[in-house]
Amino acid sequence: MSGPRPTTLDLLARLVAFDTESSKSNLALIDFVCGYLDGLNVPHVRIPSADGDKAAVFATIGPMIDGGIVLSGHTDVVPVTGQAWTTDPFTLRIADGRAYGRGAVDMKGFCALALAAIPDFLAADLARPIHILLSYDEETTCLGVADTIARFGADLPRPGAVIVGEPTDLEVADAHKSIVTYLTTVHGHEAHSAKPMLGANAVMAAADLVSELNRIADLMIARGDASGRFDPPATTVHVGTISGGTARNILPKLCTFHWEFRGLPDLDMGEIPALFAAKVETTLRDRLNRYGDYGRIETLEEVAVPGLAPEPGSEAERLALRVAGRNHTISVPYATEAGRFQGAGIPTVVCGPGSIDQAHQPDEYITLAALEAGEAFMARLIAECARP
């Protein structure tokens, strides 16, 4: 690659400059990364989304063999609309020992660290490959890694461990909850409110279902968290929006509500949907259609992000603890792509620079000290993967 070697901050500035909000394409950023990799003669594969509007990239430094280490980061960021930024969120600003910009900590900082370390990866005599995977749609579905994972062991090397570089202050997280979100639509039948027997009240049926979700939430709270590792210490159930009806004196034809659960790693993922489905049946019979076959209830699963379960002593855990200089693992309250790797049978942990407390905020930032710690992390990873 001609010219001076770009620093982590150089690359972070370039990455932040691309507006890769999840609703938008990330192709310009991927083009830049692929050009950077080409300049270093690093083999890589571009994995487009089904509609071609986005892409992931998977690069390999070292031997093209199974058993390598994946450094996984996402390129998408959350929106800036409505947030009170001091300066342009897509122009990196350095001040007071911090680097400000959308995605600076979540998680273009980790991506920049991995890319900036490539010349050192190349200079080392790696016995074990280091892969860099940059994905998309993490902030919405965590599905941007799925097509790449499907190719592991086929036309891509199957890795032995994955480190997802979400901001943990370089603590090693081996557990997080799942997230599953739903949209429930209750279809009723309009009639004059003076004669409710001539229709079906969608709002009252929806209220019945929301009450059931309250009951399920209480059940989960009572069950608690046997591991003692999560805050809050239970699977949570939440209704976020509800809308329905047209006038006080008309039986509402329609009512919709969005709801979710965030499950502990040991939760049977089918339990809450099954409890809710049973209530749907009784609500349909006893509430919505008590006067006739007027209505129906539909529930659409929108997003299902698997949790990350602890795997004590796994290759990913042991490696990350050594590289991060830690002697214990933690859990984190947010979901990541890690569960998708683990679901494919690949040991995975979450470990990256900076704090999640700065993510998704106006004037999001990562400290320069955190980036320096990340550079030391990459140097220790090289030592782990180099030939003795």
Angle at 93 between CA 11 and CA 77, to 5 degrees: 65
Residue 302 makes CB contacts below 8 A (sequence gap 6+) with 181, 182, 183, 258
Concerning whether 76 is annotated as a catalytic residue, the answer is yes
CA 361 → CA 83, 85, 101, 103, distances in Å? 8, 9, 10, 10
Q: Which of 76, 166, 174, 225 is catalytic?
A: 76
Distance CA 302, CA 180 (A): 8
Q: Read off φ and ψ for residue 159, nearest 5 degrees.
A: -75, 160
Helices 368-385 and 109-116: crossing angle in degrees, nearest 10, is: 40
Distance CA 125, CA 4 (A): 22
Q: Which of 106, 137, 138, 139 is catalytic?
A: 138
Q: Beta strand pairing status for 69-74 and 93-95? A: unpaired
Residue that has been written with the tokens 């004059």 in this structure: 192
Comparing CA positions, the residue from 127, 105, 123 lying closest to residue 15 is: 105
- Residues labelled catalytic: 76, 138
